[in-house]
With several copies, the nearest count.
Chain A
Amino acid sequence: MPESSDLLIAASTIWVVVAAVLVMFMQAGFAFLEAGLTRMKNAGHIAGKNVLIFAICSLVYWAVGFGFAFGGGNGFVGTAGFFPSVEELVSVGQKPFDWFSEVPGAAGYLFEVVFAGVSLAIVWGSMAERAKLWVYFAFGVCFTLCYSVTSHWIWSPHGWLFKKGMQDFAGSTVVHYQGALAALAGALLLGPRIGKFGHDGRANPIPGHNIPYAVLGTLILWFGWFGFNPGSTLGVDLGGFGYFAYVALTTNVAAAAGALGGIVTAWVVLKKPDLSMMLNGVIAALVAITAASGYVAPWAAIVVGLVAGFIAVVGVIAVERIGIDDPIGAVAVHGASGVWGTLACGLFTVPMLADRLATGHGGLVYTGSFHQLGVQLLGVAVVGAWTFSASFGLLWTMKKLWGIRVHEEAETLGLDVSEHGMWGYPEFYIPVPGGYDAWVTAPWERELRPQRPAPRPGSPATAPAPESA
């Protein structure tokens, strides 16, 4: 007969692992959202790079990131749990990963690494269609470390912001805002894509090549977010047994409100119900509710989502106005909306829920106190300063030393063929043997040519028949 403590571990591990797996799948969501909102000539590269960066992140986070973030330590960084051993990973609630009290260290790694992967995925949205391939490797490693340190501040019980009672349930600040800060740094240092801005500075629309891809990506993200937020209970009993279901509810109504906020804002402000804006609205709302999902009432979740949908639309336009080329809109959708979500806790956190989760206090509308809002603001300010300057500094150095942007011809030709040697949709670009609209005999294949039939009698090659015309 199993102990009920064993069953608690079993149930919590199921939940955390399943949630982690859902979040891991968000990589496919980003791959398709980003590929859909960029051009055909870069589609393979854009989609494929998500596999690459998640791979880099997975190894770096196992080696040191997880230790930085949750390996005990001081208020600023974890100091243990690097290259964790089998024992450290299979045991439950033991040092250095004792923060994970109901699941094995391995489950902790799995759940946290997919978050790091999401944050890293956001970065490249704004840098899309012009960054060199090696930059993904180099900056991918650096950002993963930077991210790990910040997450320690807010999510590790040793972290100084955690101690201040900052509320960031699943990472509006840690994951999304951070990713957006690096994205902003990258977009600024790379400069706009060729053709994005005219000589008078007016922006040209560069519509994405596949809206269905963007829809698939958005729905995969919505799907994955049910692991992202509810899974952040790190077990089955945080906030009460089954409380994570409530987190899923606030997540869903917020996302729904974001879709409506986005499409209605676009309809009213831009005069057209732009589909890409509706999708941005959904993601912005999910980003915003990420911090608040465990703390707020359903009505507040809806408000958070509606406002986020509005932020997505005006934010994307505003970023373009000030001359930044952000192909996916990450700065507005993950940055501005991430800040909004973090601050929203200071406004709408239900005191009873803050107590249940034993983090911080009730929000302004309930308590009339600006305390929590102040804590949230502090967190946003500090993280903003640290992550932006670190990212900018790193990318600036790389730019100076080796250059981070592909050559003009490469960019014009497209990254698929220039960086990887082959188009993402080859049959639309070159003759493929037996391919679309193509000439079965590929240009690079001589022998294959069908033998010419012997000229028939009366054929021009032998007789002058046509000449006589």
Chain B
Amino acid sequence: MVKVEAVVIRERVETVIDAVEDATGHVGVTVIEAVGHGRQRGITHEYRGRVFESRFLPKAVLIFLVKDEIAERVQATVIDAARSGHESGDGICWRSPAENVTHHRTGRLLEEVEVGA
């Protein structure tokens, strides 16, 4: 199978998950809270007269393990749904191969399980 990973702004986590389900029928995602640093400016803070900027901004990492055949479609959907229209900070998305993706409860390959489901 293929592992599709994306860094998205937190407001978009559910939009992306729903979009993937709508577009490809894929159900199953793991979400990790993260902070990111890139082109986007951080938030400015002031405390007792000292001004400083936090360079990290809240993001979320989404991990989808999907069948090879839908991988491209999933990624395209993610990229599309993750776009917020803000001028910066929307994040990135990539994919990589995952071998022997197994389903703990049944001990069988996830692909088979999903077919089964």
- State if A and B touch, Cβ cutoff 8 Å: yes
Please tell me if B115 contacts chain A, counting CB pairs below 8 Å. Answer: no
Chain A residues near B81: list those with CB within 8 A: 452
Chain A residues near B107: list those with CB within 8 A: 455-456, 458-460, 465-466
Measured between C-beta atoms, what is the minimum distance from A343 to chain B in Å? 26
Measured between C-beta atoms, what is the minimum distance from B44 to chain A in Å? 8
Which of A60-68, A130-138, A268-276, A389-397 contacts the other chain? Answer: A268-276
Question: How many residues of A are in contact with the other chain, CB < 8 A?
Answer: 45
A332 to B53, CA, bound (A): 27
Please tell me if A203 contacts chain B, counting CB pairs below 8 Å. Answer: yes
One digit per residue, 1 when the CB lies within 8 angstroms of any chain A CB and 0 when it does not, for chain B 1-29 equals 00000000011111100110000000000
Chain A residues near B55: list those with CB within 8 A: 443
Could you tell me if A422 and B47 are in contact, using CB atoms closer than 8 angstroms?
Answer: yes
A423 to B47, CA, bound (A): 9
A438 to B54, CA, bound (A): 12
Could you tell me if B46 and A437 are in contact, using CB atoms closer than 8 angstroms?
Answer: no
Chain B residues near A271: list those with CB within 8 A: 46
Could you tell me if A439 and B11 are in contact, using CB atoms closer than 8 angstroms?
Answer: yes
Could you tell me if A441 and B14 are in contact, using CB atoms closer than 8 angstroms?
Answer: yes
A114 to B23, CA, bound (A): 60
- Residues of A at the B interface (CB closer than 8 Å) are 203-205, 207, 266, 269-272, 274, 276-277, 316-317, 320, 413, 417, 421-423, 426, 430-431, 437-444, 449-450, 452-453, 455-456, 458-461, 465-467, 469
Can you list the 3 inter-chain pairs with the closest CB atoms, starting with the nearest? A444-B52, A421-B46, A459-B107
- Residues of B at the A interface (CB closer than 8 Å) are 10-15, 18-19, 33, 42-50, 52-56, 58, 60, 72, 75-77, 79-81, 83-85, 99-102, 106-109
Pull 27 A–B residue pairs with CB atoms less than 8 Å apart, ordered by A: A205-B52, A207-B47, A270-B49, A276-B47, A422-B45, A430-B43, A430-B56, A437-B58, A439-B11, A439-B14, A441-B14, A444-B50, A444-B53, A453-B84, A456-B83, A458-B108, A459-B79, A459-B80, A459-B83, A460-B76, A460-B80, A461-B77, A465-B108, A466-B75, A466-B100, A466-B107, A467-B100
